[in-house]
Structure formats: C-alpha cells, structure tokens
Amino acid sequence: MPNVSLMPGEDNYSEEDVIAATDHGIFIEGNGSYSIDQQRYNFQFAGQVFWEIKNGKKRRM
C-alpha cells in the first residue's frame, strides 16, 4: 500500500479528543517532512516537537 489518503470523518474530534483516546503513541506538532524508501520498508517523519502519549496524556518530549 504505497499511498494512503485520509478524508475527514463526519465526527468533529479535537486534538485533545485524539490524545485522550490514545493509550500509547507519539504526537507530532508542527510542519515537517516525510520520506519512505523505494522498497516501502523504512519511513521517517519530521516535525517541530514530538510528544510521547501514555494513557491519554502528553508525557514528555
């Protein structure tokens, strides 16, 4: 699956709603770039600030 496009849903979730519903994840703030290798095995994302999300709360950068 080389390309994925996501359209907004009918529900209007805020940034806080998404964070609160996340058990464990990473939240990326700010504009950045992304890249993926030609074999589609490795990818990377860039942003200005990365937050660890644990149990619905921003924890640490």
Is residue 45 a contact partner of residue 28, using CB atoms and an 8 Å limit? yes
Task: Choose between 23 and 36: higher pLDDT.
Answer: 23
> pLDDT grade, residue 44 (50/70/90)?
confident
**For strand 49-54 and strand 34-36, is the pairing parallel, antiparallel, or unpaired?**
unpaired
Would you call 32 helix, strand, or coil by DSSP? Answer: coil
Distance separating alpha carbons of residues 36 and 21, to the nearest angstrom: 28
- Where along the chain do its domains lie? 16-58
Single pTM value for the model = 0.66
Q: How far is CA 47 from its chain centroid?
A: 10
Tokens 């990365």 map to which residue? 50
